[in-house]
């Protein structure tokens, strides 16, 4: 069992939910699993864990299979979404492997779809016990239901385990009023309310995920997964991303 580490005095959060897109595991190409990209992500998780922060993770599967896209090709949406859930489990197992074998951390992959040969079934009380014991818990398989995104899964699990914040890692340094890659004059927001995100139709999380966070007053910070220590800096309150709260 992983021994618990005292919380760093400068840490702003004790228990976090880190939301990762599947594309991040694909590196620059954005698809498949690229070894260096996987190691960089695992390194960020390890740095935060050393601060004594309790870490949980929800990871997408878009680097392998995207259900919404497949449904447009003629596949029925529920079947396509289930295939996407399986992709998140592949990513979760890959992240677990490098966290344990290279960084010597104890992890648990818990899935919303039962497959006991590969991972534990998701049971809320068991998940909380793992987190309190210092294990890094990776939630895979989305919510276990089609038609829901992994953003919604992150909001749901964050509320269930009592996380202090959802930290959504992206390829840009916050939320903008338009795509900064296409519009050099795009305006960055330092802080937004949940209603701002919904009313402005900002591409942060889907409406279901935002509403769930709003009901629980669960803050969300959107930041760039880039330089080494970026996740650690968010936890220490030094990141210049965008925070969404009431």
**How far, in Å, CA of 85 to CA of 96, rounded?**
17
User: Is residue 100 classed exposed, middle or buried when 0-12, 13-18 and 19+ CB atoms within 10 A define those classes?
Assistant: middle
Distance CA 91, CA 59 (A): 7
E strand spans, 14-53: 15-20
Q: What pLDDT score was predicted for residue 3?
A: 55
Does residue 150 contact residue 142 with C-beta atoms inside 8 Å?
yes
DSSP E strand boundaries for 85-244: 107-111, 120-121, 136-140, 165-170, 175-176, 188-189, 191-192, 220-224, 242-244
- Where do the structural domains in the chain lie, given as residue ranges? 15-244
Low-confidence residues in the chain, pLDDT < 70: 1-3
Radius of gyration of the chain (CA): 17
Contact 179, 166 (CB under 8 A): no
The pairing of beta strand 220-224 with beta strand 136-140: unpaired
pLDDT value at position 49?
A: 98
Domain 15-244 fold: Carbamate kinase (3.40.1160)
SS3 content of the chain, % helix, strand, coil (to 5): 40, 20, 45
Token pair for residue 59?
């990871």
Nearest to 136 by CA among 90, 96, 94: 96
């Amino acid at each position: 069992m992983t021994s618990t580490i005292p919380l760093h005095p400068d840490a702003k959060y004790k228990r976090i939910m880190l939301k990762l897109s599947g594309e991040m595991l694909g590196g620059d190409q954005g698809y498949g699993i690229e070894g260096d990209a996987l190691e960089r992500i695992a390194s960020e998780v390890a740095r935060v864990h050393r601060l004594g922060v309790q870490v949980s993770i929800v990871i997408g599967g878009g680097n392998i299979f995207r259900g919404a896209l497949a449904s447009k090709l003629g596949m029925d949406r529920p079947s396509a979404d289930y295939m996407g859930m399986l992709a998140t489990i592949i990513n979760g197992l890959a992240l677990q492997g490098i966290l344990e074998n290279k960084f010597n951390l104890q992890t648990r992959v818990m899935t919303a779809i039962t497959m006991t040969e590969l991972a534990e079934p998701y049971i809320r009380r068991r998940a909380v016990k793992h987190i309190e014991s210092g294990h890094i818990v990776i939630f895979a398989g989305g919510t276990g239901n089609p038609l829901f995104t992994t953003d919604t899964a992150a909001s749901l699990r964050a509320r269930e385990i009592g996380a202090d914040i959802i930290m959504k890692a992206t390829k840009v340094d916050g939320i903008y009023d338009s795509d900064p890659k296409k519009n050099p004059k795009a305006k960055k927001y330092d802080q937004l309310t949940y209603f701002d995100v919904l009313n402005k139709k900002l591409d942060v999380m889907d409406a279901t995920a935002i509403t769930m966070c709003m009901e629980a007053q669960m803050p969300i910070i959107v930041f760039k997964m880039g330089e080494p220590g970026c996740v650690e800096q968010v936890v220490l309150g030094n990141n210049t991303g965008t925070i969404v709260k009431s």
